[in-house]
């Protein structure tokens, strides 16, 4: 169980805003189904804590490496190497590979509205400038599950 800290309040805030977004997406999908046969699948995401910051991580079944927005670590970070990252669109970019400690915020909410955190795990991430809008991390499905 984690104790109440400012980061915990932020996690609760992130959770409530994501819930609203999911509800709005579901309603939009229902409206689209009535007018348009194109089905838009909802994105899957999880909440994680890294460097005491709550962030939304997009779960991507096509990802081969964890990617993290550079803005999460504005100072110097200890890079252990580099990797070329090719997104679905655009040119490949070079990303520094850094070790990052990540805690997953479980779906269970404690009695004070605080999320319960898993044990920390160290993940090697590629630091990039641009990640999917609204997310600061992309996690391969194998790591998120």
In this prediction, residue 37 carries a pLDDT of: 74
In this prediction, residue 16 carries a pLDDT of: 42
Nearest to 126, CA basis, from 72, 69, 87: 69
**Tens of pLDDT along 33-79?**
666 677 888 888 888 888 888 888 999 988 899 999 988 887 778 89
Nearest to 101, CA basis, from 120, 117, 115: 120
Q: Give one word for 52, left, alpha or beta, with left for phi > 0 and alpha for psi -120 to 50.
A: left
pTM of the model: 0.66
Rounded CA-CA distance 29/22 in Å is 10
Choice between 133 and 2, residue whose per-residue pLDDT is larger: 133
**Tens of pLDDT along 8-34?**
444 444 444 444 566 777 777 677 666
In this prediction, residue 10 carries a pLDDT of: 44
Model confidence at 108, pLDDT cuts 50, 70, 90, reads low
Q: In the predicted model, what is the mean pLDDT of residues 85-106?
A: 88
Model confidence at 116, pLDDT cuts 50, 70, 90, reads low
Rounded CA-CA distance 46/139 in Å is 9
Q: What is the mean pLDDT of the chain?
A: 77
In this prediction, residue 99 carries a pLDDT of: 93
């Amino acid at each position: 169980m984690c104790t109440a800290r400012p980061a915990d309040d932020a996690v609760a805030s992130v959770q409530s805003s994501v819930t609203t977004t999911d509800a709005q997406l579901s309603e939009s999908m229902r409206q689209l189904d009535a007018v348009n046969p194109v089905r838009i699948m909802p994105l899957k995401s999880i909440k994680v804590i890294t460097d005491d910051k709550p962030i939304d991580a997009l779960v991507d079944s096509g990802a081969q490496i964890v990617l993290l927005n550079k803005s999460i670590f504005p100072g110097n970070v200890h890079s252990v190497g580099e990797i070329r990252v090719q997104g679905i669109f655009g040119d490949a970019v070079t990303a520094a590979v850094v070790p990052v400690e990540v805690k997953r915020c479980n779906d269970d909410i404690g009695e004070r509205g605080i999320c319960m955190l898993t044990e920390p795990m160290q993940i090697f991430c590629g630091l990039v400038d641009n990640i999917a809008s609204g997310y600061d991390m992309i996690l391969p499905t194998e790591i998120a599950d």
